[in-house]
Structure formats: C-alpha cells, structure tokens
C-alpha cells in the first residue's frame, strides 16, 4: 500500500516511520522544508537506536529508508491511504483534505489522526464522506502500541475494515471506537492532565514532584513530561475542543497555567521550553 502522511511533526514522522518499517511505500509531506529535514533526522536516529538495542538490523534500516519519500509538494501525495496529522483545526483539515481529494479521487482512503474533532464533522465537509475514517495514533507513534480506528456516521464499512487492516499491518493493537468526543483514550486520559494542572494550580506540589509521584506508581511519564513531549499547545487545543464538545463541563476546563505557557510560546520539547527546559 502507498501511504501519504500529511504533516511531518512529531506525530506525522512517527506514523511515517512505522508505516515504512511495515513495508508500505510512504510519502511524508509538509509545507516547511526545515520540518521535513528534522523529521528525516529523527527517523534516522530512531532506527539507529533500534539497531543499538538489537531490535533491528542495518539491512532493515536501509530497506525502511528506501521506502520513505520526503516532500513539500502536495502533488507528490498521490496514494492509496492518506493520514493527516496536522494542526487540530477543523478549517485547516477540511482545506487540506479538499486539496488531496482533487489529486487522488474517490477511491483513496482519507484518514485523520485527530484527537478530538468529530470525524462525522470532518466527513460532512468533504466531497467523499464515505471515504473518511479516523486512524488515531498515540505519541510517540513508533513506540506506543495502541491505535484507535474511528468511523464517522458516513464511513463505508469497507473503509473501516481497510483501516483496521492497515493498523494491524504496522503491528499495532487496534481498537474500534465510536465517534464520540475524545473517542476512548483521550476521554479517559484528559483528566490525567487536567487534574495534574489543578494540583499544581492549588500549590499542593510542584510539577516535578507530581511527575515523580506518577512515575513512582508505574507510569513512564508524568502529566507535565507528557504534555511537553506531545506539545503543550497541542494538548491545550485538545482540552479546549473537548471542553466545548462536552457542553463546557467544568471537569474538562482548560487550565490557566497551560494557557499562559502557550501564550509565551513555551510548547515543550519542540520549542526548548515548556514545563521543563530542553537543549535544542
């Protein structure tokens, strides 16, 4: 299968990597050349790390790299399956998918990696609504085993089955979710972040202590480490979307501490500063 990944940020590059490792031909598109260069470097580093850990041979790495094409021309994204992993804004997703539809036509599958925007809403604004499906990876995509497949009200059942087959082909655990706010994982996990921020806001403990305590219970990362990894602004966008979709239920309310981080441009690892400070 030829797979097009739209958006070469942290999530998009991870999806591209696992797809290529599984034998798919992959076109990774982004409008920014510097983002593509960073993606190529990150994928190379991830594969080299896998070799160091004895999980991959040099030959498999080279074969994987030959299946990857990096491009800033959307005309190159002529594929069987599109997975968009761009900003969590409905208008932007609709515009990009419309461009891809003109290029690919009615037989391509158009998947969104959205964390919170209803798939039915995306499909309602698309020329081929029956071809829209959700394929929701978790960050970091090359490590996390779970992927949600979500059908819009308009999704053709055959498209859902093809999406499930794709997820299984990349050696991920597939769960099928209804098109509800946050689907399954983000609805449950939202309070991991929201409550952590409330504890910080109430000066019960510092973000370092909260993260330490969470890790001590068996989690690999605390909420603040994870927000920095995902992107503080991305995490806030998902929280804001779910807050609105759940009719402003206070348990989903975005936190002012996180909002200030975003206003300051402290997006986490990608910007060098979030709740923690990083070397770029």
Q: Tens digit of pLDDT per residue, the chain (280 long)? A: 999 999 999 899 999 999 999 999 999 999 999 999 999 999 999 999 999 999 999 999 999 999 999 999 999 999 999 999 998 889 999 999 999 999 999 999 999 999 889 999 999 999 999 999 999 999 889 989 999 999 999 999 999 999 999 999 999 999 999 999 889 988 999 999 999 999 999 999 999 999 999 999 999 999 999 999 989 998 999 999 899 999 999 999 999 999 999 999 999 998 999 999 998 7
pTM of this prediction? 0.88
Residues 78, 176: Cα–Cα separation, whole Å = 27
Distance between CA atoms of residues 210 and 229, nearest Å: 16
191 lies in a domain? yes
Pair 43, 62: CB distance under 8 Å: no
DSSP state of 72: S
Q: Give the pLDDT score at 82.
A: 98
Structural domain count, the chain: 2
Distance CA 1, CA 14 (A): 17
Q: Are residues 191 and 164 in the same domain?
A: no
Our answer to whether residue 19 is catalytic in this structure is no
Does 71 map to a domain?
A: yes
User: How many angstroms from the chain centroid is the CA of residue 130?
Assistant: 22
Same domain, 203 and 87: no
162 and 47 inside one domain:
yes
Q: Are residues 147 and 229 in the same domain?
A: no
Does 239 share its domain with 167? no
169 in catalytic set? no
Q: Would you state the pLDDT for residue 61?
A: 95
Q: Are residues 49 and 139 in the same domain?
A: yes
Among the three residues 177, 211, 226, which one is the final residue of a domain in this structure? 177
Position 88 scores a pLDDT of 86
CATH number of the domain residue 211 falls in: 1.10.1040.50
Do residues 29 and 76 both lie within one domain?
A: yes
Catalytic residue among 148, 207, 233, 237: 148
Catalytic residue list contains 148: yes
pLDDT at 215: 96
User: Which pLDDT score, from 0 to 100, does residue 277 have?
Assistant: 96
**Where residue 132 sits, what CATH number does that domain have?**
3.40.50.720
d(CA 125, CA 131): 12
Enumerate the β-bridge partners of residue 109. Answer: 81
Residue 203 and residue 172 share a domain: no
Q: Does residue 210 belong to any structural domain of this protein?
A: yes
146 lies in the same domain as 250: no
Q: Which range of residues forms the domain containing residue 257?
A: 186-263
pLDDT at 139: 85
Q: What is the pLDDT of residue 140?
A: 85
Last-in-domain residue among 123, 147, 177: 177
Of 175, 108, 99, 101, nearest in space to 138 by CA: 175
pLDDT for residue 179 = 93
pLDDT value at position 227? 95
The answer to the question of residue 58 being in a domain is: yes
Residues 40 and 139 in one domain: yes
Domain boundary pick from 136, 152, 177: 177
Whether 145 is covered by a domain: the verdict is yes
Please tell me which residue in 19, 104, 112, 115 is annotated as part of the active site: 115
Give the tokens for residue 64: 């994987």
112 domain residue, yes or no: yes
Quick check: is 269 in a domain? no
Which of these is catalytic: 19, 24, 46, 136?
136
- Does any domain span residue 217? yes
Classify residue 268 by its DSSP letter. Answer: B
Listed residue (86, 88, 119) closest to 100, CA to CA: 86
Cβ–Cβ under 8 Å, residues 142 and 116: no
CA-nearest of 158, 160, 35, 52 to 87 is: 35
Q: Could you tell me if 158 and 203 lie in one domain?
A: no
Vertex 174 angle, CA 229 and 151, to 5°: 95
115 is annotated as an active-site residue: yes
Are both 170 and 208 inside the same structural domain? no
């Amino acid at each position: 299968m030829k797979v097009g990944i739209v958006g070469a940020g942290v999530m998009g590059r991870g999806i591209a990597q696992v797809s290529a490792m599984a034998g798919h031909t992959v076109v990774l598109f982004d409008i920014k050349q510097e983002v593509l260069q960073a993606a190529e470097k990150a994928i190379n580093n991830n594969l080299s790390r896998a070799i160091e850990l004895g999980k991959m041979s040099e030959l498999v790495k080279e074969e994987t790299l030959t299946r990857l094409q990096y491009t800033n021309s959307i005309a190159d994204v002529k594929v069987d399956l599109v997975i968009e992993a761009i900003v969590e804004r409905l208008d932007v997703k609709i515009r990009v998918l419309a461009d891809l539809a003109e290029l690919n036509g009615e037989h391509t599958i158009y998947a969104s990696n959205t964390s919170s925007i209803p798939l039915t809403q995306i499909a309602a604004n698309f020329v081929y609504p029956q071809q829209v499906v959700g394929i929701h990876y978790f960050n970091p995509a090359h490590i996390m085993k779970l992927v949600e497949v979500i059908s819009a009200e308009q999704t053709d059942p055959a498209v859902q089955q093809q999406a499930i087959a794709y997820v299984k082909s990349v050696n991920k655990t597939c769960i099928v979710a209804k098109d509800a706010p946050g689907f399954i994982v983000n609805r449950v996990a939202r309070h991991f972040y929201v409550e952590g921020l409330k504890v910080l806001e109430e000066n019960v403990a510092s973000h370092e202590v909260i993260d330490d305590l969470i890790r001590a219970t068996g989690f690999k990362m605390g909420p603040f480490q994870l927000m920095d990894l995902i992107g503080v602004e991305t995490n806030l966008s998902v929280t804001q979307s779910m807050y609105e979709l759940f009719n402003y239920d206070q348990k989903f309310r975005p936190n002012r501490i996180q909002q200030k981080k975003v206003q300051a441009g402290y997006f986490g690892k990608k910007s060098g500063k979030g709740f923690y400070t990083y070397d770029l």
